[in-house]
Each structure stands twice: as structure tokens, then as C-alpha cells.
Amino acid sequence: MRYAVLLRGVNVGGRNKIAMTDLRRILADLGYGDVQTHLQSGNGVFSSSRSADRLAAETAAAIAAGTGLRCAVMIRSGAELAEIVAGHPLGREPDNPSRYFVAFLSGAPDRAAIARLSGQDFGSDRAWVRGRHAYTWCPDGLTATRLNYAFLEKQLGVVATARNWNTVRKLAELTAG
């Protein structure tokens, strides 16, 4: 099965650096097949027959052992990424895909947390929570919104890492089949 690995908070603002060559090596050393990375923001794809929970735990442990970097690791299957793309709530392709995001959550938030988030006014920004994913539309850009992954973590009580729509679509493409 093809999977995507998404690392939280790496290579952002010069902090928590991990070279993509190191990430590829770590994933390959774990026995994952067909390893690739995408961009410099902690995205990888690979093949494995192991469970997603096991993959996340062993990848996080191997990154910490190999680089000293401790970060949350989210794993999504190609099928999950295809569902994320097909079922996105915006209702159309975004005018500017760099301003449409998917936050990958460590677990499904409870209903009360989702209701609290949904009850807030974010101006022209929008947020939708679907299971272990939160979609955000930020037409004025990420720097002009409160709907970043840190805010979502606090509101929803889960760990999150976000990727823009271009990256989500590319990861879905790389994990298809």
C-alpha cells in the first residue's frame, strides 16, 4: 500500500531542520519501498504493508534516533488522500490553491470541540472538520488568518500539521494506485 508521511513543524523558519535526503534514507532504512520526498516541508511517500499506526510510531522514533529531531508524524494512505481530495467541502476548485489548506489531525476531535470551532466568526475565512482532517479556506492568505495549524490544535485538542491544496493534490497523485 502507498502512504504519505507528513512531519509537523519541520523546516519552517529555519527551525527543526531535516534534509529530505536524510528523510529518504530514514524511510528506506525502515524497509519502506519506493521512497520519495516532496518539497522541503517534511513530506514523503513510500510503500509498506504495515499499519498506519505502526508506521507513524516507527518513523517518529527513527527520525528522533537519526537526527535528534522530535516531531509529530502523520501517516495517510493513498486511499485516504484520494478521499480528502474528492470530498473537499469548498464545492469547487479553489481560485488560489495556495490559500486552501488541509490540516492532518492526529485523531478525530470530539463533537463539542468541532461545534466550538464552527460557532466562531472568521470573517471571509472558512473551516470544516471532517474526521481526522480540517479544511481551511483563507482567501487573504495564511499570514492574515487565525486558522493555522497551531490554532486548530488548541481549538480541537489534537495535534495537526497543514499542507496547501497543491501539496495535498500532489501527495494524492504520488500515492495513487
**71 lies in the same domain as 33:** yes
Tens of pLDDT along 146-161? 999 889 999 999 999 9
**72 lies in the same domain as 105:** no
**47 lies in the same domain as 124:** no
Question: Is a pLDDT exceeding 70 seen at residue 121?
Answer: yes
Mean pLDDT of the chain: 94
Please report, for the domain that includes residue 100, its CATH number.
3.30.70
Rounded to an integer, what distance in angstroms lies between the CA atom of residue 145 and that of residue 136? Answer: 10
pLDDT, position 21? 95
Q: DSSP letter at 1?
A: -
Answer with the residue of higher pLDDT: 50 or 142: 50
Domain span at residue 64? 2-79
pLDDT, position 13? 65
**159 lies in the same domain as 104:** yes
The three-state secondary structure class of 74 is strand
Please report, for the domain that includes residue 29, its CATH number.
3.30.70.1280
Q: Which of 5-9, 43-47, 134-138, 163-167 has the lowest mean pLDDT?
A: 5-9
Query: Mean per-residue pLDDT for 95-108?
Result: 96
Question: Is a pLDDT exceeding 80 seen at residue 14?
Answer: no
Beta strand extents in 39-89 (DSSP E only)? 43-47, 73-77
pLDDT, position 51? 95
CB 9 within 8 A of CB 74: no
Among candidate residues 49, 79, 109, the one where a domain is terminated: 79
Neighbours of 59 (CB within 10 A): 25
Query: Mean per-residue pLDDT for 43-54?
Result: 96
**104 lies in the same domain as 69:** no
Task: Give me the number of domains the chain comprises.
Answer: 2
Among candidate residues 57, 79, 101, the one where a domain is terminated: 79
Among candidate residues 30, 47, 79, the one where a domain is terminated: 79
